[in-house]
Amino acid sequence: MPISQRPLSDPAQRGWLSDFGWDHGRLHIRKTDIRLKIDHKLVAEVLQWLPYLSILTVRSVWARLFRDPALSIWFAPDRPRPWYLARGAALWAGISVARTAADADVSFYFDDVTSAADDINLQGVLNGACTDVSKSHVASIFKDVFGYPLAVDPLTFKKPTVEKSEKNGVHDGRIFPADGEVSADCVYQRLVDTTDDDGAAHDLRTLCANGSPVLVWLKIKPSGARFAIHNRKALLKDPTEMFSTDEIARIGQFTARMGLDWGGLDILRDRHDGRIYIVDVNKTDVGPVIALSWRDKIRSMGQLAKALEGLVNSRSRSQNIVARPVEPYVIPHAA
């Protein structure tokens, strides 16, 4: 079924609290079936979202008053909440959410799942070719593009190994024990050591649009908590500060192979071999990162809004976005 004909699961017609439930003392995110432990860190992060959402609302009204010409996006099968970056950047840019595909400048496949349903025709839709963000698929594309592996055989690999669920957004990574049993539901990857001299881990959340990195959030996690979702600190960085010219070109090739027009990559740089490893693809990214300063939050959203506007303009209604075939990106090789 073409995405333009699929019914919109419109969160605006439901209270946002319907996205969540309570299950055995944990916060249940119904769409992704993820359960989060309620602790003081999670509560603090939720409370920090409230002033950001207020700022986002004011900015959206202001941007739409002075937006000329008007732009709109049709999201399907789901309409993202404002805490998803695609919606937040649209609001920041004054880009409205269309009620139907026929009214929109572009259509955007938005479904917070690891793999798309088989009956969706996503031809020509933004992120329409990004239908599989499972860990094994990400690792396979990464090896093809970068030429060295992330995935390993845990029974023969002689160095520390990480065990993760195939499912996106679970945050269940752990060091695979030497006497552990291999699970068919998990993937096994080399442990990328991103720690500094104090033991804090450094993650490079890289936001991409139209085949190019837009910005990087350097996320610093406490010692011993490399797999945690909470960050001790986060800093806004330019991609050229964090990656070489060749690495940026290969990141572009990777997003093209993944079909990712818009989204975030979790990138790790190993302190021993100096190489980068793309360990996760987030086509329904949430943000901005709570641990960013207010200055970096505002700057980040301004950059992302500009990038989304450029993406929408490049794939606008004049190009018949819903019907036209997908054209592959051509990423030039670095000199």
pLDDT in tens, 28-79: 455 555 555 666 666 666 677 888 989 999 999 999 888 878 899 999 988 9
Predicted TM-score of the model (pTM): 0.83
- The confidence score (pLDDT) of residue 326 equals 36
More confident: 12 or 224: 224
Do 160 and 125 share a structural domain? Answer: no
Q: Report residue 242's pLDDT band, with 50, 70 and 90 as the boundaries.
A: very high
Cβ–Cβ contacts within 10 Å for residue 152, how many? 20
CA dihedral defined by 45, 48, 54, 55, rounded to 10 degrees? Answer: -110
For residue 258, the enclosing domain spans 135-282
Do 176 and 73 share a structural domain? Answer: no
Do 28 and 119 share a structural domain? Answer: yes
Q: What's the gap between Cα 164 and its chain centre?
A: 17
- Tell me how far apart the alpha carbons of residues 34 and 172 are, in angstroms, rounded to a whole number: 11
- 3-state helix, strand, coil split of the chain in percent (to 5) is 30, 25, 45
More confident: 7 or 196: 196
Q: What total of structural domains would you count in the chain?
A: 2
pLDDT in tens, 145-173: 999 999 999 888 989 899 988 877 666 77
Do 116 and 175 share a structural domain? Answer: no
Cβ–Cβ contacts within 10 Å for residue 144, how many? 11
Instruction: Tell me the mean pLDDT in the region 295-310.
Output: 97
pLDDT in tens, 125-151: 999 999 999 999 999 999 999 999 999
Name the residue among 116, 40, 129 with its Cα closest to residue 78.
Answer: 116
- Tell me how far apart the alpha carbons of residues 104 and 259 are, in angstroms, rounded to a whole number: 21
CB 107 within 8 A of CB 101: yes
CB 180 within 8 A of CB 186: no
pLDDT at residue 123 is higher than 80: no
Do 57 and 195 share a structural domain? Answer: no
312 φ, ψ (degrees, to nearest 5): -65, -45
Do 120 and 178 share a structural domain? Answer: no
- Tell me how far apart the alpha carbons of residues 6 and 58 are, in angstroms, rounded to a whole number: 32
- The confidence score (pLDDT) of residue 298 equals 96
How far from 186 is each of 46, 113, 176, 189, CA to CA, in Å?
A: 30, 17, 11, 10
Q: Residue 114 domain-assigned?
A: yes
